[in-house]
């Protein structure tokens, strides 16, 4: 069953909400990296949170690029996402083995978000200090301070010691401008009492089931459902275009000193080889 993202509003017009099930996507992403269960957990939380926020604030062909750096042993966590349900990311040190998320990420750092708008606009970058190092909390703080949209981002990943992902999902709930205080109070009480997100998914209650556990079925109007997935792999031709952005002296150095070039894709772990003839062709075409 494909991973999905569901958008809905409450019938009382107090909240807009998005939920995601990214279990299969995370299992696929985990296979690209020699990650520990903690490394997979971190990657999953970042991918899910980025997808949720990008679908809340982007439209069309816009994209979101995120860097999380808390000076913890995990190092930087980098993600990219589109408004159409595509995402990718990596953890600089996927073999991190701390006991908890906050210790792995660290708390002395920042979350930086760059929105790539249409081709005629300059990218917009916003940066906030980490709120807790739990990643979803940090995105919640970003939504409030940089986007000025009161929201709650909550994600959950269940991965075992054998690196099997049993569930990965979450939600973002944003208060609409006329949200009533009593509705906000009920919402936070419901979130406090709801079961863990991974339990809802593992019981087969689906993506929409995450939202039902908060608002109930009678107060939700589903707007859309779309599939989510990882970005497709780049082709060798696309990597060649990247190499063509280097000057000829740099390319010539690769020919003479290294007898070729190897590019390692940080998102997938793929290794792309260019021999001396291919590098020479790139220089000739320039």
CATH number, domain with residue 37 = 3.55.30.10
> Are residues 105 and 221 part of one domain?
yes
Q: How far apart are CA 76 and CA 69, in angstroms?
A: 5
Q: What are phi and psi of 8, to 5 degrees?
A: -155, 160
Domain that holds residue 139: 4-230
Can you tell me the distance from the alpha carbon of 262 to that of 243, in angstroms, rounded to the nearest whole number? Answer: 11
pTM of the model: 0.90
If you ran DSSP here, which 8-state letter would residue 257 be given? Answer: I
* d(C-alpha 88, C-alpha 218), whole Å: 35
Tens-digit pLDDT profile for the chain (286 aa)?
589 999 999 999 999 999 999 999 999 999 988 899 999 999 999 999 999 999 999 988 899 999 999 999 999 999 999 988 999 999 999 999 998 999 999 999 999 999 987 665 678 899 999 999 999 999 999 999 999 999 999 999 999 999 999 999 999 999 999 899 999 999 999 999 999 999 999 999 999 999 999 999 899 999 999 999 999 988 889 889 888 888 888 888 888 888 888 888 889 888 899 998 898 898 888 7
Which residues are paired to 45 by β-bridges? Answer: none
Produce one character per residue of 43-71: b if its CB has 16 or more CB atoms within 10 Å, e if not.
Answer: bbbbbbbbbbbbbbbbeeebbbbbbbbbe
221 and 101 share a domain? yes
150 and 277 share one domain: no
The domain boundary residue, chosen from 189, 206, 230: 230
CA distance 73 to 100: 12
Co-location of 249 and 226 in the same domain: no
Instruction: Put residue 204 in one of left, alpha, beta given phi > 0 → left and psi -120 to 50 → alpha.
Output: left
């Amino acid at each position: 069953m494909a991973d999905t993202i569901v958008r809905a509003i409450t019938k009382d017009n107090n909240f807009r909400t998005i939920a995601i099930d990214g279990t299969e996507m995370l299992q696929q992403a985990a296979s690209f990296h020699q990650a520990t269960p903690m490394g997979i957990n971190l990657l999953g939380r970042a991918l899910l949170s980025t997808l949720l926020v990008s679908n809340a604030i982007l439209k069309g062909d816009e994209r979101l690029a995120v860097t999380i750096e808390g000076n913890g042993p995990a190092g930087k966590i980098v993600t990219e996402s589109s408004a159409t349900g595509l995402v990718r990311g990596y953890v600089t040190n996927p073999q991190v083995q701390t006991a908890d998320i906050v210790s792995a990420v660290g708390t002395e750092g920042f979350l930086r978000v760059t929105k790539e708008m249409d081709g005629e606009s300059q990218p917009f970058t916003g940066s906030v200090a980490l709120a807790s190092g739990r990643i979803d909390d940090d995105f919640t703080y970003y939504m409030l301070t940089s986007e000025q949209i009161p929201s709650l981002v909550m994600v959950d990943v269940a991965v075992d010691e054998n690196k099997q992902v049993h569930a990965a999902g979450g939600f973002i709930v944003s208060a609409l401008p006329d949200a009533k205080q009593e509705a906000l109070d009920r919402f936070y009480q419901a979130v406090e009492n709801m079961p863990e997100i991974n339990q809802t998914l593992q019981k087969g209650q689906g993506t929409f089931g995450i939202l039902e556990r908060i608002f109930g079925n009678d107060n939700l109007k589903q707007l859309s459902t779309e599939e989510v997935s990882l970005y497709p792999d780049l082709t060798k031709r696309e990597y060649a275009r990247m190499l063509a952005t280097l000057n000829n002296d740099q390319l010539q150095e690769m020919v003479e000193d290294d007898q070729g070039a190897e590019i390692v894709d940080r998102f997938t772990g793929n290794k792309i080889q260019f021999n001396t003839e291919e590098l020479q062709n790139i220089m000739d075409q320039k």
